[in-house]
Amino acid sequence: MINNVLITGGAGFLGSALTLRLKSKGFRVTVLDNLSRQIHGEGRDSYLYGSIKGKVKFIKGDIRDPEDCFQALRSQDAVVHMAAETGTGQSMYEVEKYFDVNVNGTAVLLDAIKKKGSRVKKIVLASSRAVYGEGKYKCSRHGVVYPISRYEQDLGKGDFHIKCPVCHQNVDPELTDENSRIHPVSIYGLTKQIQEQMVEVSGRTMNIPVAILRYQNVYGPGQSLSNPYTGILSIFSTRMKNQNDINIFEDGQESRDFVYLDDAIQATVKAIQKEKIAGVFNVGSGIATSVLVVAQTLKDIYGSDVKINVSGHYRLGDIRHNLADLKAAKEKLGFVPRYSFKEGIRRFADWVNAQKVMKDNYENSIEEMRKKGLYR
């Protein structure tokens, strides 16, 4: 029976919510987190860390430090590995950093489990839909296809549609299932793919069941309002609260599978509790929502008068659509999303309205990407 759970990155957005949910269910939780400046700010007294401070055993340490991992693994029955650098855009010009934290950090943790984690009965890895790249599509002539990254010559002409890799005709997005082709188009996605393979192979050799959760676009209370690299709902919210206009890439019709935080946590808890269940599972809503709809919905909720500009600009490494097939998660984990996007975004906005207005760092992030040649 699983009683003691280690969460690496347990003070982050997903990690802190999972920490509190497990504690409420009677689990004994240990958190290993380095309180990254980008997530927690200069003072390291963030909303997220404050939500778990003093409530669980907390170890301030680094996933890349074997001694920190050894200390955190004492008497643990399960490990939920969430510590990672996130964000596709930033990963394209901080390659060494992403590989060091996501790949090397995972290697150090797995070595520590082999040496000191003799009680561990389950490993849950927080992965990402980024491993799919563009995901699964259907061509009217060639059936199911898995397009590669879009051609820059098309993007430069304002043609943002996904093309069939065979005939170069426009194709339509399909539900992407866990057996879909893996071919990430960002460094972040590549590091998550490698993480998956490392954890899967190591779990098999140690005879530990491994559940890999490929989260779609998770949003909800606690998402950083000062980090301009991840979470478009947070980025848009901070822009609006600062009375700054919204810049939407491409034609605004690019879409994402947005899953509310509580639903993502529900799936994660089920993966922990079902001790013997192993495999790869999508965690999403199964519904695609366009970026333009997101911006307009937030504007309406906040009563904002900022302008929404569909710029036609684009970032290299961005995908066009993603839409998750949830069949496996429903059948094996019993995961069924409870929150519609309409309800979830309202709850998120209510939380934002209760927070102080954060400094808007968005323009700096765009300028940084422009200098790196990744923003057109």
Q: Provide φ and ψ at 374, rounded to 5°.
A: -105, -5
Give the whole-angstrom CA distance, residue 175 versus residue 326: 9
**Cβ neighbours around 340 below 10 Å, total:** 12
DSSP secondary structure, 96-148, as one string: HHHIIIIIIHHHHHHHHHHHH-TT--EEEEEEEGGGGTT--EEETTTEEE---
The answer to whether 235 touches 228, Cβ cutoff 8 Å, is: yes
Task: Provide CB contacts within 8 A for 115, sequence distance 6+.
Answer: 70
**Pairing assessment for the beta strands 255-260 and 172-173 based on DSSP bridges:** unpaired
CA separation for the pair 239, 134 (Å, rounded): 28
Residue 146 is among the residues annotated as catalytic for this protein: no
User: Buried (b) or exposed (e) across 48-69, using 16+ Cβ within 10 A?
Assistant: bbeebeeebebbebbbbbeebb
8 Å CB contact between 258 and 198:
no
Is the Cβ–Cβ distance between 53 and 16 less than 8 Å?
A: no
For residue 173, the 8-state DSSP code is: E
Are 34 and 61 spatial neighbours (Cβ–Cβ below 8 Å)?
A: yes
Separation CA 257–CA 216 (nearest Å) = 6
CA dist 335 → 213, 260, 328 (Å): 12, 13, 9
Give dist(CA 324, CA 131) in Å, integer.
12
Catalytic residue among 188, 260, 314, 362: 188
Contact 203, 244 (CB under 8 A): no
Q: What crossing angle do the helices spanning 291-302 and 232-241 adopt, rounded to 10°?
A: 40
User: Catalytic positions, please?
Assistant: 188
